[in-house]
Homo-oligomer: A and B are copies of this chain.
């Protein structure tokens, strides 16, 4: 993932209802491809826990907070995210940091 001087880092934890992990994995693949086309997206990758296959983490980067807002408003997230994957979850925890990296590498992060 490219490191810009300013970006929004998002760590999203998805805990899937038992037995739906494989289907969510497929859907996240679709969502990944569509999200990476968004103008303000800098990276979007999802991973699955080998120790608990019902747990996924998504690492996302946007140019800034408005990029995450645009992502959530996008038709593909409305359909795949809110409309399909999120109802298949037990829980969802999203943590984001607005990171700005100055000359000597010091980053200021606003945790939402």
Listed in ascending order, the chain A residues whose CB lies under 8 Å from chain B are 9, 11, 25, 28-29, 32, 45-51, 55-57, 59, 97, 99, 101, 105-112
Residues of B within 8 A of A56 (CB): 47
Most B C-beta atoms less than 10 A away, residue of A32, A59, A109: A109
Q: Which residue of B lies closest to A11 (CB)?
A: B59
- C-alpha gap A45/B49 in the complex (Å): 8
- Known A-B contacts A99-B97, A99-B109; A57 and B51 likewise in contact (beta carbons under 8 Å): no
Residues of B within 8 A of A51 (CB): 29, 32, 45-46
Residues of B within 8 A of A107 (CB): 97, 109-111
9 A/B residue pairs, CB under 8 Å, sorted by A: A9-B11, A28-B50, A32-B51, A45-B55, A47-B49, A48-B50, A97-B97, A97-B107, A107-B111
